[in-house]
Amino acid sequence: MNPRTAKQLKKSGLNAAGVMVFLIAVFPVYWMVATAFKPNDEIFTTRFIPFPLAPTMDHVSRVLTKGVAGHSIWQYLLNSAIVALGTVLIGSVFALLAATAVARFRFRFRTSFLILLLIVQMVPAEALLIPLFLMVKRLGLYDRLLGLIIVNVGFTLPFAIWMLRTFVAAVPKELEEAAAIDGAGRFVTFWKVLFPLVAPGLVATSIFSFITAWNEFVFALTLINDQGTYTMPVALQFFTGQRSTDWGGIMAASTLMTIPVIAFFMLVQRRMVSGLVAGAVKG
Amino acid sequence: MAQTSTVARGGGHSAPARRRSHRPARRSSRLPSWVVPYVLLLPGLLVIAILLLYPLYQMVDMSFHKVGLRQIRPNPQPAEFLGLGNYTAVFESELFWTSLRNTVVFAAITVALTLVAGTLVGLLLHRLGKKMSTFVIVGIMAAWATPPTATAIIWKWLFDADAGVANWALNLLPDGLSSLLFGRSDWSGEPWLNDPSTIYLVLVVAVVWASFPFIAVSVLAGLKSIPSELYEAARVDGSAPLTTFRKITFPLLRPVFSVLLVLSVIWDFKVFTQLYVLAGGTTNRESFNLSLWAYTEAFSAPPKMGFGAAIAVVLTLIMLLITAVYVRQIVKTEDVR
């Protein structure tokens, strides 16, 4: 075999491996969507039906009108959106301020603060669930989306600061110094110079927080008891009955929950990776 | 360094002394400059203190008390101090050993598989052409982005006893091969989600599927930062691919790997959502891990919150112990100084 064919062969081997990885990653998601559009006789069968033979909107329209646990899926999607947006709006302000502090200033306890950010991310949320449940109950926030928003802010903030500080640090200091020389005060410098340049990073961080809050399950399960206040991940559990599961419905609802997240994810994936392993990967 | 900066700032890497230097000449706000970072930090720090640190303290405190219905009602009664009573009860419980085993074995297998699969895919992505690599990255993003509840539900469906694709695919295997590998050839109606060991098998598959993309993309980012001259030199010296990986790639990516290892350990040790969904809630006690056990004790009737808190403390301590070494390393390599 001459070297050229060997190289060709190797290349097609690599490409084949790439296609394999793609299929393994995508198939389960595809299967969710495919099941959502299959009629029941194509769902409950031992045969393998690769795509809906008689595609139907039955499951989608059923979960949107009749819903589950007494409410339309719209209600749960709306609740999830409120929680996720609330978390982002409150959290990003705190995160931006703190990230500016650690990226732009040297001060006592700066290192301790950064280490604290790392350590608090290690504490299992399920562990803090018990005291937070009692706190939320005492504050009268049980069964209210606001309670969920507050808890989510707490859990997304350490990582948001950690991620955002690299974006702040990437903005050249000279720009702010120039603004200051031109007589701009601290607030003006922050608002007119730093903020616009950090905005893309802030968007990426916000989307990450949004996804985290949108997906969050344990707190939503524990802090909400009223069915009309459930978020999507909790509502999904109610498709599983004592005897049987409405697989068409649950797949339709899962699809509706997953699509916005995948769309958002594609938008920010590159920035997110750099934020996640910030510092360790010197790129 | 010339005093070019009049902006209030704590100084860069080179000039910590600037902190105490001239006040900004004009239009400075009234805050002294050393206060500024603390003011910026305060809101975030308060949030972390109130929502994470104080509950953490409370969790430890509760683990020494008997906290039940009477303590969580309005007008709570004071909790009875038990000393180490909750901890003794935890260690004496049979469920402790099964949950601990489930937690540790699951985390060990999943972390190993995720890291290996992720690294292999990362290396593959690095060698693929630009178009092909983008194509594969978009694909693995879909797996990564799927919400944990949906992930668990999808895999539950794939492993469904009657209509699941897994059983269908296993039935496709030639009977001889299937009996040789698994000691059986007929998989029709195999109920994967009844027995703890097979629940965990599905859980491993689901969690590895959802978490290898992150490892792959991170490894890829690291690989791109390694200068290609090193690889050329290795090739000139006739180094075998495995030797190149061991001698060049791995040492240079060591910081990346330690971050990824710690994150994976943290994520897999406290897996809750996917297990909750796959095991069908809190009824199947044999399939508890420590998170799910703590949750169940604290929130099913009658609530034993102090007992649950003690389990949570044990889980947190185990995680801290395992990750301590690596966290030190991350702190060293990270720009936190």
Tell me if residue A240 falls in helix, strand or coil.
strand
pLDDT of residue B1: 36
Instruction: Test B168 with A46 for CB contact under 8 angstroms.
Output: yes
Domain B85-333 in CATH: superfamily? MetI-like (1.10.3720.10)
Half-sphere exposure of B53 (CA within 13 A, CB side): 13
CB B277 within 8 A of CB A235: no
| φ/ψ of residue A71, rounded to 5 | -135, 155
Q: Mean pLDDT across the stretch A66-79? A: 90
Tell me the pLDDT band of A276, cut-offs 50, 70 and 90. low
Alpha carbon distance B187, B100 (integer Å):
31
* d(C-alpha A214, C-alpha A210), whole Å: 6
Among chain A residues, CA nearest to B328: A115
Per-residue pLDDT, averaged over B108-130, amounts to: 94
Give the chain A residue whose CA is nearest to the CA of B278.
A237
- On whether residue A13 sits in a domain, the answer given is no
Give the tens place of pLDDT for each residue, A254-264: 999 998 888 88
Least confident of A122-131, A233-242, B54-63, B100-109: A122-131
Per residue in B191-224, pLDDT tens? 898 899 999 999 999 999 999 998 998 888 888 8
Measured CA to CA, the distance from residue A3 to residue B28 in angstroms comes to 70
Q: In this complex, do A94 and B269 lie within 8 Å of one another by their Cβ atoms? A: no
Chain B residues within 8 A of A105 when measuring between CB atoms:
9-10, 36-37, 40
Smallest CA–CA separation between B94 and chain A, in Å? 20
Residues 6+ apart with CB under 8 A from B290: B99, B100, B103, B311, B312, B314, B315, B318
Which of A116, A157, A233 shows the shortest C-beta gap to B147? Answer: A233
Query: In the prediction, which pLDDT does B125 show?
Result: 93
Q: Do A131 and B330 touch (CB under 8 A)?
A: no
Best CA proximity match to B250, nearest among B267, B234, B274:
B234
Q: Side-chain half-sphere of A180: how many Cα atoms within 13 Å? A: 21
Which pLDDT score, from 0 to 100, does residue A154 have? 94
For residues B75 and A89, the model is more confident at A89
Q: Before B302, cis peptide (omega within 30)?
A: yes
Examine residue A253 and state whether it is found in any structural domain, yes or no.
Answer: yes
A31–B165 C-beta distance less than 8 A: yes
A184 backbone dihedrals φ, ψ, rounded to 5°: -75, 140
Residues A218-224, mean pLDDT to the nearest whole number: 94
Token digits of residue B286: 């044999």
Residues across chain B: 337
Measured between alpha carbons, how far is residue B168 from residues A18, A29, A248, B190 in Å? 25, 18, 19, 10
Preferred mutation among B146, B207, B223, B317 to probe A, highest tally of A CBs within 10 A: B146
Give Cα B255 distance to the centre of its chain: 17
Tokens of A251: 């797949």
- Is A17 a member of any domain? no
Average pLDDT (B249-259) is: 84
Place of tokens 């999943």: B110
Contact between residue A194 and residue A141 where contact means Cβ atoms under 8 Å apart: no
Q: What is the pLDDT of residue B177?
A: 84
Does B294 sit within 8 Å of A127, measured CB to CB? yes
The complex scores an ipTM of 0.88
Measured CA to CA, the distance from residue B19 to residue A270 in angstroms comes to: 36
pLDDT score recorded for residue A254:
95
Q: pLDDT value at position A215?
A: 93
Q: What is the mean pLDDT of residues A245-273?
A: 84
Counted across chains A and B, CB pairs separated by less than 8 A come out at 339
Residue of A nearest to B52 (CA): A154
Question: Is the per-residue pLDDT at A158 higher than 60?
Answer: yes
Mark yes or no for CB contact B316/A127 under 8 Å: yes
A265 CB neighbours in chain B (<8 A) are 141, 144-145
Confidence label for A172 from pLDDT (cuts 50, 70 and 90): confident
Which residues from chain A sit within 8 angstroms of residue B272, using beta carbons?
124-126, 217-218
Is residue A11 assigned to a domain?
A: no
Judged by average pLDDT, the poorest of A153-162, A214-223, A237-246 is A237-246
Q: Is there a contact between B7 and A178 (Cβ–Cβ < 8 Å)? A: no
Q: Residue B330 pLDDT > 80, yes or no?
A: no
Name the pLDDT band for B26 (thresholds 50, 70, 90): very low
Q: How far apart are CA B84 and CA A240, in angstroms?
A: 40
Tokens linked to A86:
């609330």
Residue B120: what pLDDT? 95
**CA-only gyration radius of chain A, Å:** 24
Task: Give yes or no for a contact between A201 and A248, defined as CB atoms under 8 angstroms apart.
Answer: no
Residue A3 has pLDDT above 70, yes or no: yes
Q: Which residues constitute the domain of residue A208? A: 28-276
What are the boundaries of each domain within chain B? 85-333
Find the DSSP H helices in A3-68: 3-36, 40-43, 58-65
- 172-201 in chain A: CB under 8 A from chain B: 173, 176-177, 179-181, 183-187, 189
* Nearest neighbour of A281 by CB, restricted to B40, B225, B323: B225
Residue A274: the pLDDT is: 56
Count of domains observed in chain A: 1
- How far apart are alpha carbons A253 and A72 in whole angstroms? 10
Residue A12 at interface with chain B, using a CB cutoff of 8 Å: no
User: Does A141 lie at the interface with B, CB-CB under 8 angstroms?
Assistant: no
Scanning B88-107 for CB atoms below 8 A from A yields: none
pLDDT for res B15:
40
Q: State the smallest CA–CA distance between residue B180 and chain A in angstroms.
A: 24
Most confidently modeled range among A239-253, A265-279, B7-21, B33-47: B33-47
On the CB side of B164, how many CA atoms lie within 13 Å of its CA? 22
Interval A105-123: pLDDT, tens: 888 888 888 888 878 877 7
Could you give the CA distance from residue A34 to residue A19 in angstroms, rounded to a whole number? 20
The CATH code of the domain that includes A237 is 1.10.3720.10
Structure tokens of A20?
């394999």
Looking at the domain assignment, is residue A77 inside a domain?
A: yes
| Residues in chain A closer than 8 A to B117 (CB atoms) | none
The mean of the pLDDT values for chain B is: 84
Q: Count CA atoms within 13 Å of residue B41 on its CB side.
A: 25
The region of weakest confidence among A19-23, A252-256, B36-40, B325-329 is B325-329
Mean pLDDT of B21-27: 47
Res. B25 pLDDT band, cuts 50 70 90 = very low
> Is B218's CB within 8 Å of A269's CB?
no
Amino acid letter, A229: T
Only one residue has tokens 């301790």, namely A112
* Burial of A197: CB neighbours in 10 Å, binned 0-12, 13-18, 19+: middle
- Whether A22 is covered by a domain: the verdict is no
In this prediction, residues A228-244 reach a mean pLDDT of: 87
- Nearest-by-CA chain A residue for B130: A15
Token pair in block for residue B99: 């949950």
Residue B122 near residue B218 (C-beta atoms within 8 A): yes
Q: Is the pLDDT of residue A126 over 80?
A: no
CA angle A238-A244-A245, nearest 5°? 45
B173 secondary structure, DSSP code: S
Q: Is B310 on the interface with A (CB under 8 A)?
A: no
Residues of chain B positioned with their CB less than 8 A from the CB of A129: 295, 298
Q: Residue B284 and residue A18: Cα distance in Å, rounded? A: 39
